[in-house]
Amino acid sequence: MSIIELKNIEFGYGKTKVLKSIDLNVEKGEFLSIIGPNGAGKSTLLKTINNIFDEYDGNISIYGKNLKDYKRKELARIVSFVPQETYLDFEFSVEELIFMGRYPFQNRFKTDTINDYEICYKAMTLTNTLEIKDRLITQISGGERQRTLIAKALAQDPKIILLDEPTSHLDINHQIEVLEILKELNKTKDLTIITVLHDLNLASRYSDKLVLLKDGKILKTGSAQEVLTVSNIENAYNMNVVVELNKYTNSPVVIPIEAKKRKKNQLFPSIHLISGGGSGENIISRLFTEGIDFSVGVLNIGDSDWQLANSLKVKIIEEKPFSAIREETIQKNMELIRTKDIIVISQVPIGYGNLANIQMALNAINEGKKVIYIKNNAFENIDYTNGAATKIYNELISKGMIVLNSIQELIDYLENYKNI
């Protein structure tokens, strides 16, 4: 029984199409993983299914009802969503955060009921978070935080759970732990799971079905054996690979051999990109495809933009995971910025941890560098610094920062750069 149906879905940011002619059916109780290179549209597809991005063309139905006809609370009683990047700077306890999952079932000012307690404590038991329920969310490990977010999603008592790269930032032990929990929930609760996974071999091991995306289109849908072929992986990832069968799990294993070489395009100026949290994925992919000489930074290790740039062997100035940018890292990044022609800023949310990135852009424009800002309608409010970031952006604009509306406008600008 298909409980989710997507028909001819098209979605983009401004003039840039991210999803193109997507047709997909998801069966009840299925564990489906969306895979593909960064910038292929994986997270965008997941957010579109959750109606976060609702300006799409085509039709999505869940349990036979048009997605756009659902009220937000009504949809939240059926579908829960675990995002890739979650800013949890408030000092809630693990228990308090998990109880927030009951919001779709509560009226305003209503207190928690016995049923709410039973559902939340069951969610904590299933995710092994009961023993850490009194600890602050800011004081637990990455694996514990991910289990807590899954418990919060389970507290919604959903029929479908969507997860955007639930194993990112985790070591292999915690990756397996999280996916084992999800697979057990999939089997015992008949929970339909749709997840974006970066690791092809984990996707192969735990998924009933894979959806391989490339450039916003579905390249292949099917079992791991059907999707993870040498030709499909080399086509999607531009990598030379070998695919073997894991004798322990009986699932295909993809072994990367080497990235196919690309030529740098000397007609374009060199770029330093300031991004993070997935905001730069499409820009990184396009700059790489065009053969443009570029670097990225500062990015926290494990960040989705970091993962993409690292996989493409792009020069990165990096910082420790979940850490603010240190002075020594600022110095390294400024040294790299001074070697580039143009600084490009994606529309990345700015908190106190990455505020130094746009301050460095301001330093660069004061030193005579060109700075370009790429708007992205997906983000409405990106200043989480009580106005400090907005103040810097206003100063950048006053000093000549160029604001463009799409990646294509950036490419057009770069093509004409030497004539400007």
| All domains in the chain, ordered by first residue | 2-254 (3.40.50.300), 271-419 (3.40.50.720)
Strands 217-222 and 209-214: antiparallel
Structure confidence at residue 241 (pLDDT)? 83
CB within 8 Å of 33: residues ≥ 6 apart: 194, 195, 196, 197, 203, 206, 207, 209, 210, 211
The pLDDT of residue 120:
92
Query: Residue 40, SS3?
Result: coil
Nearest to 348 by CA among 271, 279, 273: 279
> For position 406, what pLDDT does the model report?
83
Give pLDDT tens digits along the chain (420 positions): 799 999 999 998 766 788 999 999 999 999 999 999 877 889 899 999 999 888 899 999 999 999 999 998 899 899 999 887 555 667 789 999 999 888 887 776 667 788 888 999 998 998 889 999 999 988 888 788 888 988 999 999 899 999 998 887 777 888 898 899 899 999 998 999 999 998 999 999 999 999 999 989 999 999 999 999 999 998 898 878 888 888 888 899 988 776 665 556 667 899 999 998 888 888 888 888 788 889 998 999 988 889 888 888 889 999 998 888 999 999 999 999 999 999 999 989 898 899 999 999 999 999 999 999 998 654 456 888 888 999 999 999 999 999 998 888 888 888 877 655
**pLDDT attached to residue 378:** 46
pLDDT at 133: 92
pLDDT score for 334 = 95
Pairing of strands 402-404, 160-164: unpaired
Distances (CA, A) of 179 to 18, 79, 148, 163, 170: 28, 19, 14, 11, 11
Secondary structure class of 239 (helix, strand, coil): strand
Say if residues 1 and 28 touch (Cβ distance below 8 Å).
Answer: yes
Question: Is residue 3 a contact partner of residue 62, using CB atoms and an 8 Å limit?
Answer: yes
- Taking the CA atoms of 244, 186, 42 and 210 in sequence, report the sign of the dihedral they define: positive
- Number of H helices and number of E strands within the chain? 15, 18
Q: Which of 156, 47, 163 is nearest to 104 (CA)?
A: 156
pLDDT at residue 89 in the model: 61
- Asked whether the bond before 227 is cis by omega within 30 degrees of 0, the reply is no
pLDDT score of 108: 65
* Conformation bin of residue 278: beta by default, left when phi > 0, alpha when psi is -120 to 50: left
pTM (two decimals): 0.64
pLDDT at 261: 58
State the virtual CA torsion across 139, 164, 349, 340 in degrees, nearest 10.
Answer: 110
